[in-house]
Amino acid sequence: MKQKLTEAEKQIMDILWEQKTAFMKDILEIYPEPKPASTTIATLLKRMQTKNLVGYKIFGNSREYFPKVDKETYFNHEMNVMIDRFFNSSVSQFASFFASSKKLSQDQLKDLRDIIDHQIKD
């Protein structure tokens, strides 16, 4: 997966991930204010189809859109790209940066340790 979502495309994907399928009118209804023109949504959906992230089924004159990639897969890909790009593919460098830059509380740090300990046991 090489295709990154723009912020506007991500808003549409969030709707599709949540709804599983949606017609254009559904996307427009759910889209947060300020709502874009329907032509803008249509253009974004077309770009997302070109990126192979969205597909559709035709029902009469309407298209029912659906995501072609699930949210977890997309998020994992984006995180891996970021770790590769900014942390020389080092997850430990990323974790160190994250833990120190976010000013995590003791409870949050303990939660992270528990997650890591659980992963080590598996």
Cis peptide bond upstream of 34, omega within 30: yes
Query: What pLDDT, on the 0 to 100 scale, is given for residue 2?
Result: 62
Query: What pLDDT, on the 0 to 100 scale, is given for residue 28?
Result: 95
| DSSP string across 13-54 | HHHHHHHSSEEHHHHHHHSPSSPPPHHHHHHHHHHHHHTTSE
Q: Tens of pLDDT along 62-93?
A: 999 999 999 999 999 888 888 999 999 888 88
Q: What is the CATH number of domain 7-67?
A: 1.10.10.10
Query: What pLDDT, on the 0 to 100 scale, is given for residue 1?
Result: 62
Bridge partners of 67, per DSSP, are 54
| DSSP string across 69-99 | S-HHHHHHHHHHHHHHHHSTT-HHHHHHHHH
Cα separation, 11 vs 54, whole angstroms: 13
Which run of H or E residues covers position 53?
none
Better-predicted residue by pLDDT, 112 or 50: 50
Q: Where in the chain is the domain with CATH 1.10.10.10?
A: 7-67
Among positive and negative, which fits the CA dihedral 61, 8, 46, 5? negative
Q: Tens of pLDDT along 13-67?
A: 999 999 999 999 999 999 999 999 999 999 999 999 999 999 999 999 999 999 9
Q: What is the pTM of this model?
A: 0.78
Better-predicted residue by pLDDT, 56 or 106: 56
